[in-house]
Structures are given as structure tokens and as C-alpha cells.
Amino acid sequence: MNTTYSFQIYNSTSSLPSEWNLLASDNIFLTREYLEVLENSCPVNMICHFIGIFEETKLIGIVLTQFLFAEKLESFGERDQCLKTSVRNFALKNFASHVLFIGNNMLTGQNAFIFDKNAKESKAVKTLHKAINQLKKDLKASGKKVHITSIKDFTAKEIEPLQAEFKNNYTFSTQPNMIFEINENWKSEQDYIDALSKKYRDQYKRARKKSEAIEKQQMSLADIRKYEDVIYDLYFHVAKNAPFNTFFLARNHFSFFKEIMKEDFLLYGYFLDEKLIGFNTLIKNGEIMDTYFLGYDESIQREKMLYLNMLYDMIAYSIKKGFKEIVFARTALEIKSSVGAKPVKMYGLITHSNALINHNIARFFNYLEPKTEWQERNPFK
């Protein structure tokens, strides 16, 4: 029997079909609640759309898209204020300032869509393709022409069905996703420490010693609201020094996140002499712990090895609570590698609306996403 697949594009989480969350049961980042957080506290330069894919009247696929327009951004990474930056900014404003992501540009990993396990994958992907084309038409009608379309972040295996459908797209690989696998025999932080080789046990001890004066506290919604401005400044300091930024979070992002997601979202504050000097955030996603944004005061970070201590804290908490792995995402690869995270290569597809640029998109892409040189470490015995 040949059933027809169709799609529906939603501009708001309030209009999502009631059965949406049944499909999102394995990934918190596609649940109605998380999407509501995105919709209500997303970056100033982002518009989210949600796509439902149907077999007759049955919802069999859910999709997140993010449309990013660069003209509202103050900074494309402040670090290298030289000719290259101005050339890059010109290129971005004119050829790449309107980007449609199928997936979540704020996270690493396959958070783009989920299909029902009984759905015909190739047919669902074809319907997704039609939906993306329709969304581009809708955006254009409202005066926003999409320059670049990108479907991200997939493992080599996951991307195959997409490559088969999106034939004129260039397959790119970005910085790897750093994944920390938790050994099932570890029950406490001490088990982790015992597994480290001497060099990295010494690194652990040194970091812990330096941070002795720092107090760490899990922050409630009231705490987050009280410190919202400081939290934002700490986040912004780290974000604006990143080599390449496509968005900045909204000021109310963390408090709104806590309000909606409650215990699935954790924010830890780090205090020195009763002053908030850093924070990190974690999101519980089934058996996986996802690390989210963090921030710190750079002058104290160096001296107290704060970032490294945050990584150790996230590991300790995740072991204690019985998680299977930690997604450390894709910045600061070397230091994450030094605590035991391993790189997993991630792929995406990209296409440009301009045929000439699309023909040379590989060169264009490598220009926008400079290769990072880093040394992989193995801290275990």
C-alpha cells in the first residue's frame, strides 16, 4: 500500500501537534519544552521553525530548523581584528549572512530530526527536502532570502540517507564532537582518578589544589534570576573571544531554561570571596549528559585552572548520577582530550543559493571554518 507523506511547518510551539513529544522521547532537544525555551529565549538573530512530517494523518517525523541572519550581530568573533576578519565579514554579509540550519546550531550532535522507527526513511527524507524548499519560499516571501542551507551534525553513518537525497550539497566535516564515555565500573570520581596515568593524576591534583578557595553551588531559578546579568557577562566574555560566532544568547536564556526544564537543566555557579566568577551548565538527556554554555572571568580562570576544574566537576557529577556518556561538544579540543574525551567526526551538508558559489563551496567553506590544529591526549593508564 502506497501511503502519502506530507509536511506542515509551524512557527510556534503552541501550534505543535499534541503527539509531538511521543517522537521526542529519546532526545530532550526535540521536545516541546526545550523548543519552547528556544522559541522564547533564542538568540536575537535567530528564528526557529518546526516541521511535522505526516503519513496520512499520523505524525511520523519532527524537525527543528533555525534561520540565522547575521545583520543583527555585533561580532563575528573579536579575536582577530585584521584584514582577514574584514574580508570574512564582507563575504558573510553579502553571501552568507542568511543561513538556514536544519538542526541546532547551539548544540553538537544529531538534534535535527527524529523519524518514527516504522517510517520509510528515504520517503521521510524526501518529504523533509520538500519542506525545506517550502520554508525557503516562505522566508523569501517575507523578505529574507536564504543564502546557505546546512543540515548538521551527523556521524558518517547517519549522513548517508541525506547524501542520497540532497545531491547537489557539499558534505563537510567540522571540528569533532568530544565525547566522554563513562566506564560502567566507575561508581565515583575516585574510580575515574584511579584510572588516570600518573601525569594526568598530577594534573588533576594540581587543578584541584589551585581551586581550593572557590565555592561551587548549584543555582536555583531564584539564584539564576538574581545573578542573570553577571552570568550573561561571564558567558559573553567567553563567547565573544571565540574565533567564530554566529549568535549570542538572549539575556534571559538561562533563567527561562531553568524555569521550563527544571531539574533537567543544571547551572553551577563558582564563587570566590562571595563573587560569582564563573558558571557552567548541564542538560540531562536520557542517559547522556550534555554540556551547554559556560562562562568565566578570564583573569581568575588562568590562575585557578577554573575551566579544567569545571570539566572535572562535570565528569564527577555524571559518574555519580550514573550517566553513560558526556557530550563535551566541539571547542577547546585539547583540554577536553586531556580529561579523557575522544573525538567523534561529525558531518553536515551545505549548499549555496548562488550556483557559482555553490560550485566552489568547498573552498568557501574551508575559508569560513578554519582547520584547528590540536594534539590528542590519552590520560588513562
Q: How confident is the model at residue 16, as a pLDDT?
A: 98
What's residue 77's pLDDT? Answer: 53
What torsion do the CA atoms of 29, 35, 38, 40 make, to the nearest 10 degrees?
-160
pLDDT value of residue 242: 75
pLDDT of residue 246: 76
Rounded CA gap, 290 and 179, in Å?
10
The count of other CB atoms within 10 Å of the CB of residue 70 is 18
262 and 122 share one domain:
no
Closest CA to 313 of 280, 342, 338: 280
- Residue stretches of the chain with pLDDT short of 70: 1, 71-96, 243-244, 367-368, 370
Whether residue 329 is contained in a domain is answered as: yes
| pLDDT at 123 (0 to 100) | 97
Q: Are residues 358 and 322 in the same domain?
A: no
Q: Record the pTM.
A: 0.92
- How many CB atoms neighbour CB 378 within 10 A? 11
Q: What is the reported pLDDT for 79?
A: 47
With respect to residue 352, please indicate whether it lies within any of the assigned structural domains: yes
* Predicted local confidence at residue 73, as pLDDT: 59
Residue range(s) defining the domain that contains residue 79: 5-174+346-368
Q: Answer yes or no: do 126 and 220 share one domain.
A: no
Indicate whether 374 belongs to any domain. Answer: no
162, 349 Cβ separation under 8 angstroms: yes
Burial of 336 (0-12, 13-18, 19+ CB in 10 A): buried
Residue 35 half-sphere exposure, CB side, CA atoms within 13 Å? 27
- Kindly list the distances between the CA atom of residue 97 and the CA atoms of 72, 258, 268, in Å, as whole numbers in the listed order: 10, 31, 34
Residue 229: CB atoms within 10 A of its CB come to 9
Domain assignment present for residue 376? The answer is no
Q: Are 339 and 354 members of one domain? A: no
Same domain, 223 and 332: yes
Any domain includes 85: yes
**360 in any annotated domain:** yes
For cell 577536553, name the residue: 336
Identify which of 298, 196, 235, 200 has the alpha carbon closest to the alpha carbon of residue 41: 235
What whole-number distance in Å separates Cα of residue 42 and Cα of residue 200? Answer: 38
Cell of 361: 563551496
Would 124 be classed as within a structural domain? yes
> What CATH number is associated with residue 199?
3.40.630.30
Please provide residue 174's backbone torsions phi and psi, each rounded to the nearest 5 degrees.
Answer: -100, -170
